[in-house]
Amino acid sequence: MPLLVLPFPAIDPILFEIGPYALRWYALAYIAGIMLAWRYMRTLVLNDVLWGKMARPTPLDLDDFVVWGTFGIILGGRIGYVLFYNPAYYFQNPMESFAIWTGGMSFHGGFTGTVVAMILFARLRKLSIWRLFDLAGAAAPIGLFFGRIANFINAELWGRPTDVPWAVVFPGGGPEPRHPSQLYEAALEGVVLFLIIRILTHRFKMLQRPGFVAGAFAAGYGIARCIAELYRVPDAQIGYLSGFLTMGILLSLPMVLIGVAAMIWSSRKAPKQA
């Protein structure tokens, strides 16, 4: 064991309890991520410099959309986890599918659920779906950051055994020190991706090219997730699909391809003013 290995900080996953009700850090992370992402999206639509003469959703549109987006994240995330990561268990225990407070959410499922929510909302309000996609893509890394921090607090989704000096011994992960892969993902999918997209929106004014920011998010997330998967232990019930290939990588590669295609399409398309 390396001399500088870090013991896991024993953080209670329950923030506080009132009778039979408990507020978990996992739930708080979702609440904080959604609320901060919503506020950031409102800040973006109010900044005329970023949009030029381009039409965009109003703050009121975003206030209404946050409810749709929340349901898309939660329902899609849970359904995605049930279908992609542990279908056999939930087929045998169908009522457990609704126990979201126990953990078990899929980003790719939540992403799909949010996309469906955005499409339905944009059609209802007669909004440009690409501009709504761009706003969501610019703000999504905020939620990803808080979600990965919650994974670390829950001591779940830990990494592979390692001898790096910042390795952590996780409860339930055996005696071996492991990569804190949750923190790697918080850094890559949250901080780094947010800063890259921030440069695109504020330095290069890419919100004026519908679809580019959304594509950058999809491709950026896919690349970040594939990198992180190289250090993360896959879910025990799935394991490695082939060699180093995991379910996370398999689901992320199409995001990279779609994201790159969206950026190329957006770059070649002449900007519109409405």
- The C-alpha atoms of residue 138 and residue 201 are separated, in whole angstroms, by 8
Beta-carbon contacts of residue 3 (< 8 Å; ≥ 6 apart) = 165
- The C-alpha atoms of residue 116 and residue 109 are separated, in whole angstroms, by 11
- Residue 27 has φ and ψ, to the nearest 5°, of -70, -40
Residue with tokens 């899609």: 76
- The C-alpha atoms of residue 266 and residue 206 are separated, in whole angstroms, by 9
Does 148 appear as a known binding residue? yes
Instruction: List the alpha helices (DSSP H) in 154-209.
Output: 181-185, 193-202
- The C-alpha atoms of residue 152 and residue 181 are separated, in whole angstroms, by 8
- Asked if residues 169 and 63 have their Cβ atoms less than 8 Å apart, the reply is no
Instruction: Give the residue ranges of the annotated binding site.
Output: 148
